[in-house]
């Protein structure tokens, strides 16, 4: 769960008013409305063929044209020396593109899964080093809500190129213009200097980070200002990684009202269509412990489990390969979110602990999980 962070800033009056930082930081997101964008500091970003991961929470209003989340590139004088990496959503699908100059041209990587509009999604773009033209290895991986939705081979070897600009919310063309400007909201944009695994993405996607995370190159939480308020004095967003003292320059934002401004964010614990979401009710009478039962009955198959559970309410997240067990501190109804390799749930009319069948109440969302069996999945459960 996102944790609130309130950083008080200091303003000093010395003959003229000197404001070291104009705002108190809260827990916000940043809204774009097809016009504004951010010019980020490119100096800490990956160069050429370096591995990287870019991840961010996004909410877009419609399944329409291409929306650029971010771009970094080299705008060299000669076309042969230009390159770009572009991170997009198009018609609700993740799209990663590379340009390697006229020799290599463009490569396009479309995810086949369409994400729903008007809800928050966590998306991640992962690039391993280019494996070579003759290799069959995949090096491009796209994730939606912690689930891999695409893998493929990048067709561009950019090992000699050096990044010299970084844009958030638009695609900066080499001619200097900005296109495919983003519409919607972004939150918690992060860039890492290595290819994160699926479990690493899941493990941090709903948590805020500190400034000293290993391998973190850039981190924009977009927590400045007052949600929906007058934020017109704010000119930059902070890069919490401390690799960019200047942060990112805000260009074209209104910074007042509910659009083109800092806006309220969400509790991401139960968001994202990639997750399997249930609710459970516990109390002192029936017990505060619950167990998520897996299917180990070889009659149905030999299933392998490797999944993450966000237990809701108390902020605990665990990684499991068998039955998942959790004891809450207080009575209540809790939203439990499962992502990863979870081929079957198996209540089978059996209480692994007293009253466990009575504690699960609803299935809120099935998600992208690839179910291999529903045999006796909820048999006997109060659902």
Per domain, the residue ranges of the chain are 11-270, 276-365
**Is the distance from CB of 359 to CB of 280 less than 8 angstroms?**
yes
Distances (CA, A) of 322 to 19, 71, 308: 54, 41, 11
Q: What is the pLDDT of residue 113?
A: 79
- 6 has a pLDDT exceeding 50: no
The pTM of the full predicted model, rounded to 2 decimals, is 0.69
pLDDT above 90 covers a percentage of the chain that reads: 47
SS3 100: coil
Can you tell me which residue has the tokens 């290595």? 194
The answer to whether the Cα torsion of 205, 279, 275, 59 is positive or negative is negative
Q: What is the pLDDT of residue 15?
A: 25
Q: What is the pLDDT of residue 273?
A: 54
**Is the distance from CB of 349 to CB of 376 less than 8 angstroms?**
yes
Q: What is the pLDDT of residue 183?
A: 96
**Is the distance from CB of 57 to CB of 188 less than 8 angstroms?**
yes
**Is the distance from CB of 315 to CB of 208 less than 8 angstroms?**
no
pLDDT above 70 covers a percentage of the chain that reads: 83
- 297 has a pLDDT exceeding 50: yes
Q: Could you give the CA distance from residue 88 to residue 94 in angstroms, rounded to a whole number? A: 6
Bigger pLDDT: 175 vs 280: 280
**Is the distance from CB of 380 to CB of 293 less than 8 angstroms?**
no
Mean pLDDT across the chain, nearest whole number? Answer: 83
Bigger pLDDT: 13 vs 28: 28
- CATH number for 11-270: choose from 1.10.340.30, 3.30.2270.10, 3.30.1330.10, 2.60.120.200: 2.60.120.200
Q: What is the pLDDT of residue 14?
A: 25
* Mean pLDDT, residues 160-173: 82
Q: Could you give the CA distance from residue 320 to residue 312 in angstroms, rounded to a whole number? A: 16
* Mean pLDDT, residues 124-138: 80
Q: What is the pLDDT of residue 275?
A: 79
Q: What is the pLDDT of residue 10?
A: 26
SS3 200: helix
């Amino acid at each position: 769960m996102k944790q609130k962070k309130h950083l008080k800033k200091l303003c000093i009056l010395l003959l003229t008013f000197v404001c070291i930082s104009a705002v108190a930081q809260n827990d916000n997101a940043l809204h774009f409305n097809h016009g504004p964008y951010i010019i980020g500091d490119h100096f800490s970003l990956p160069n050429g063929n370096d591995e990287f991961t870019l991840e961010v929470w996004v909410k877009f209003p419609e399944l329409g044209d291409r929306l650029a989340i971010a771009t970094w590139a080299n705008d060299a004088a000669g076309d042969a020396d230009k390159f770009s990496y572009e991170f997009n959503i198009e018609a609700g699908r993740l799209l990663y593109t590379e340009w390697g100059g006229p020799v290599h041209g463009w490569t396009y990587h479309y995810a086949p899964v369409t994400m729903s509009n008007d809800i928050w999604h966590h998306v991640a773009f992962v690039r391993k080093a280019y494996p070579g033209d003759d290799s069959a290895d995949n090096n491009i991986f796209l994730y939606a809500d912690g689930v891999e939705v695409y893998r493929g081979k990048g067709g561009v070897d950019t090992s000699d190129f050096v990044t010299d600009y970084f844009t958030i919310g638009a695609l900066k063309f080499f001619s200097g213009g900005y296109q495919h400007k983003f519409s919607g909201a972004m939150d918690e944009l992060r860039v890492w200097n290595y290819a994160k695994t699926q479990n690493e993405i899941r493990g941090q996607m709903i948590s805020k980070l500190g400034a000293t995370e290993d391998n973190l190159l850039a981190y924009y939480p977009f927590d400045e200002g007052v949600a929906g308020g007058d934020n017109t004095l704010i000119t930059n967003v902070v890069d919490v990684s401390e690799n960019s003292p200047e942060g990112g320059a805000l260009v074209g934002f209104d910074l007042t009202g509910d659009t083109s401004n800092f806006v309220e964010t969400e509790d991401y614990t139960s968001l994202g269509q990639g997750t399997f979401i249930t609710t459970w009710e516990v109390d002192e009478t029936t017990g505060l412990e619950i167990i998520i039962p897996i299917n180990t009955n070889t009659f149905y198959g030999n299933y392998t489990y490797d999944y993450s559970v966000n237990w809701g309410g108390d902020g605990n997240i665990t990684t499991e390969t068998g039955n998942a067990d959790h004891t809450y501190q207080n009575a209540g109804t809790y939203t439990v979110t499962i992502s990863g390799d979870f081929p079957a749930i198996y209540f089978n009319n059996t209480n692994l602990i007293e009253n466990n069948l009575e504690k699960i109440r609803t299935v809120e969302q099935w998600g992208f999980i690839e179910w291999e069996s529903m045999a006796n999945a909820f048999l006997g459960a109060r659902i």
